[in-house]
Amino acid sequence: MFGYIRPLQGELKVRELERFKACYCGLCRTLGRRYGLTARFILNYELVFLSMLLWDDSEPLKTRRNRCIASPCKRVRYCYANPAFNKCAGYNVILAWWKLRDSITDESFFKSVPHRVLKFFLSGAYKKAASSYPEFDGTVKKELGNLTEHETLGHTSLDGAADCFAKILSAAVPEDAPDTTRRPMLEMLYHLGRWIYILDACDDYKEDIKAGRYNPVITKFSASNGELAGDSTERLKTTLAHSNNLLCSAFELLPSNTWSQIIRNIIFLGMPDICLRVFDRDRRRERNAD
């Protein structure tokens, strides 16, 4: 699921890269401990980022070494026990379950079989996560319902569709956070969600054209023979850069935490780099087609 929010590794110090990997492994282990083995297979970078953003600095950063199911012969370092991991593990399960449900609706029966199987094995974890975080689950259900309405009616509003996903991520901000922290986080996560949704639509539009699936990039910018018309690509890059800039501005208003340097790398360097890679991949497809 997605996977766009990651650091530009070449610009991280060795120590920072090791800590990022430890955070990733820590969230993976929390998913397994709280929601079972299947839940570990749905981990994504967006929730690792959210874990760092919501990190509780009142608890010291502790790491341990242990074997990993992905590489059982090697002991890896992982971050140990933080409330942010517990919360983001639950959010990860909820988002993945609803994403699977949405994919099953979009695909034919045979193409949706893998999604149906994973959803079945994830059902128990979802029920546990939804009971722990009912407000977040309710927001996800509501906004994905709004997004489904956009798809059914074939709305051409790119912002309208992106707004639904943006509201889902902004719902992760704690209600009891101080206003000086809560407001920048709401702005930050709203534009993060908007950026992810639009970039994902840009990344998938050719496949969605072939499959006949709804994609706001296709409905907004008339496509001819699978290509976007006119200056559509530049307009999409501009709106993505706008959300990225607003996200970065909001981040500067937040107090520093344990992960601030890595978060800074992700939003100032990693996100623009991923954006360029998505559009460059599209250009490579065009050259290969020629």
* Dist CA 205 CA 255 (whole Å): 38
> How much is the average pLDDT of 62-80?
84
> How much is the average pLDDT of 42-66?
90
> How much is the average pLDDT of 12-20?
94
pLDDT band at residue 286 using 50, 70 and 90 as cut-offs: very low
* Dist CA 55 CA 171 (whole Å): 16
* Dist CA 203 CA 249 (whole Å): 26
Closest CA to 249 of 237, 234, 264: 264
pLDDT band at residue 32 using 50, 70 and 90 as cut-offs: very high
pLDDT at 139: 96
Amino acid of residue 277: R
> How much is the average pLDDT of 170-183?
90
* Dist CA 193 CA 28 (whole Å): 22
Q: Check residue 256 and report its DSSP letter.
A: P
Among 105-119, 188-202, 269-283, the range of highest mean pLDDT? 188-202
Higher pLDDT, 153 or 132: 132
Over residues 86-102, the pLDDT tens digits come to 999 999 999 999 989 88
pLDDT band at residue 224 using 50, 70 and 90 as cut-offs: low
pLDDT at 287: 39
**Signed CA dihedral, 176, 180, 184, 190: sign only:** positive
pLDDT at 288: 43
Q: Which residues are 66's β-sheet partners? A: 76
Q: Check residue 9 and report its DSSP letter.
A: G
> How much is the average pLDDT of 239-265?
96
pLDDT at 282: 55
| Number of neighbours of residue 18 by Cβ within 10 angstroms | 14
pLDDT at position 230 over 80: no
> How much is the average pLDDT of 222-248?
85
pLDDT at 47: 95
Element (H, E) at 227: strand 227-228
pLDDT at 66: 87
pLDDT at 1: 57
Q: Check residue 107 and report its DSSP letter.
A: S
Amino acid of residue 173: V
The mean of the pLDDT values for the chain is 89
> How much is the average pLDDT of 44-59?
92
> How much is the average pLDDT of 263-283?
90
pLDDT band at residue 227 using 50, 70 and 90 as cut-offs: confident
pLDDT at position 220 over 90: no
> Residue holding tokens 């023979």?
225
Amino acid of residue 27: L
| Number of neighbours of residue 226 by Cβ within 10 angstroms | 14
The alpha carbons of the chain give a radius of gyration, in whole angstroms, of: 19
* Dist CA 221 CA 245 (whole Å): 23
Amino acid of residue 275: C
pLDDT at position 229 over 80: no
> How much is the average pLDDT of 251-273?
96
| Number of neighbours of residue 132 by Cβ within 10 angstroms | 17
